[in-house]
Structure 1
Amino acid sequence: MSVEDVLAGGRRAAAQLLLDACLIERKAGPPTFDPATGEYVQQWETVYAGPCRLKRSAGGDDTQLGDSQSVTLHQYPVRLPWDAVPEVRREDRLTLTASDDAWAVGRPMEVVDVGYSGTSTGRHLMVEDKS
């Protein structure tokens, strides 16, 4: 059995664990002004829609923003199928569209890291929930 055969089998097995579904979007240009609301609105374009797996990680880290403001940053590993295209990039937005964890569905999270490896069984991302 070749290395390629072993990787193909591992990728098939890893794909069976992708029980969540997600939407990954990328900013489509600069924000535009909406005169009806008086606010700037960011437009997004779809990069990927399909199976994924959001995993739990350690607790969040508190980050001080100013004198009395802080935000807790939670990072989560996400797996995509090996053949997911096109390439996901940092600062893309990931939203779970289906999951057994109903609390996670609909939460927009930012892609903060993309892993690369020729012998991986899936695409590895790290996303951050800045709630």
Structure 2
Amino acid sequence: MLEVALARGRAMAERLMVDACTIQRVTGEGSDDDGNVVKTYEQLYAGRCRVQQRSGQAAQEDVGQDFQLMLRLEVHLPMSVVGLEAGDEMTVIASAHDPDLAGRTFLVRDLAHKSHATARRVGVTERTS
């Protein structure tokens, strides 16, 4: 009974995932022909997602003497997405209802785990300044 309800909940949650994203992890660094540092990546996921904003206000973070505004959001992914780590990069490649989301890149910050989740909810941040 529980498995049936959980499967229905997950299917319903995935129907709400109308955006598309990729998630990748930095695996190293190299340099291009001009000597510029170039990061290398491993793609972890490409598929459906749903972007939700936790709060409408960016938080101030001071990194050394650099003032940055960090916007916190939550991304919902299918439960089949596993192995994510803080620091992974998520890029929205398409959004059904918010064209301003496409092309935005976020850093995975918070991972959530629970027994009866209908979606993998991942906290991400975007540097806004």
Same fold (TM over 0.5): yes
* TM-score (normalizing by structure 1): 0.89
Indicate the residue corresponding to 2:41 in structure 1: 44
* Regions of 4+ moved over 4 Å: none
What does the per-residue CA deviation read over 1:61-81, in whole Å, with 9 as the maximum and x for residues that have no partner?
A: 0112345x3100011000001
Q: How many pairs align? A: 126
Indicate the residue corresponding to 1:77 in structure 2: 74
Match for 1:92 among 83, 88, 91? 88
- The one-letter amino acid paired with 1:94 is M
- The one-letter amino acid paired with 2:19 is D
* TM-score (normalizing by structure 2): 0.90
Distance 1:121 1:65 in 2: 36
Percentage of matched positions with identical amino acids: 29
- For 1:25-36, list aligned pairs within 5 A: 25-28=24-27, 30-36=28-34
What does the per-residue CA deviation read over 1:49-71, in whole Å, with 9 as the maximum and x for residues that have no partner?
A: 0000001121110112345x310
Unaligned runs of 5+ in 2: none
Distance 1:72 1:39 in 2: 27
Indicate the residue corresponding to 2:16 in structure 1: 17
Unaligned runs of 5+ in 1: none
